[in-house]
């Protein structure tokens, strides 16, 4: 069975990026399991920031949207379609000032859409992207993953769960400025333990 992997890189560094190396290594490991199609989304290429007109288009019922509305939502629709097509989502996340890069936050804003990727029910919000797996490849210089000052990992876990993606694994090369050899070894061991399914 063909697997579709969505690889998202959010580091603004194209050379020497640890998170980019991690996503590449993770995708290579996952492809060992058989045939896989890879969709690559590089947020360093640029990403739209939502504004008032985008919000207006998003809140307009689908059947009432004008061509202008549809044009405004086109980039978001493309990103959502990539998520919908993916069986596994691999997200490279460098920790910038204790949180996610601005481009990754912009991506979240574009894909977290009521009635599109989640809905509100009498029981509360329900994610509509169920049955998918996510792997977060996190790199940090001085922030330990899941420490009191890590606002990246819990945020992304929550966002993904909100969208219906609850199978989330972490591959971390954290505290690279403290002990780079240990950080790299830990990440490599986590990648070695990944299975394609």
The answer to whether 182 touches 148, Cβ cutoff 8 Å, is no
| pLDDT over threshold 70, residue 142 | yes
Q: Give, rounded to a whole angstrom, the gap between the first and last alpha carbons of the chain.
A: 11
Binding-site residues, in ranges, read 11, 17-19
| pLDDT over threshold 90, residue 147 | yes
Tell me which fold the domain 3-192 belongs to: Rossmann fold (3.40.50)
| pLDDT over threshold 80, residue 182 | yes
Res 197: pLDDT: 52
Give the gyration radius of the chain's Cα atoms.
Answer: 17
Binding-site residues for FMN, in ranges, read 11, 17-19
**pLDDT tens per residue, range 50-66:** 999 999 999 999 999 99
**pLDDT tens per residue, range 24-42:** 999 999 998 788 999 999 9
pTM of the predicted protein model:
0.95
Domain limits of the chain? 3-192
């Amino acid at each position: 069975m063909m697997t579709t992997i969505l690889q998202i890189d959010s580091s603004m560094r194209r050379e020497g990026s640890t998170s980019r190396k991690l996503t590449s290594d993770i995708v290579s490991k996952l492809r060992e399991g058989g045939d896989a199609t890879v969709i690559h989304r590089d947020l360093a290429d640029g990403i739209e920031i939502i504004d008032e007109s985008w919000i207006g288009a998003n809140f307009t019922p689908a059947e009432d949207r004008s061509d202008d509305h549809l044009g405004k939502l086109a980039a978001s629709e493309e990103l959502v379609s990539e998520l919908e097509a993916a069986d596994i989502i691999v997200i490279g996340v460098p920790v910038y000032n204790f949180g996610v890069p601005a481009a990754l936050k912009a991506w979240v804003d574009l894909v977290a859409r009521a009635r599109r990727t989640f809905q509100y029910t009498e029981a509360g919000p329900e994610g509509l992207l169920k049955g998918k797996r996510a792997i977060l490849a996190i790199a940090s210089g001085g922030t330990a993953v899941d420490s009191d000052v890590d606002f990246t990992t819990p945020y992304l876990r929550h966002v993904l769960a909100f969208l219906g993606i609850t199978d989330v694994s972490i591959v971390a090369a954290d505290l690279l400025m403290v002990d780079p050899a240990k950080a790299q070894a830990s990440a490599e061991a986590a990648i070695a333990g990944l299975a394609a399914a």
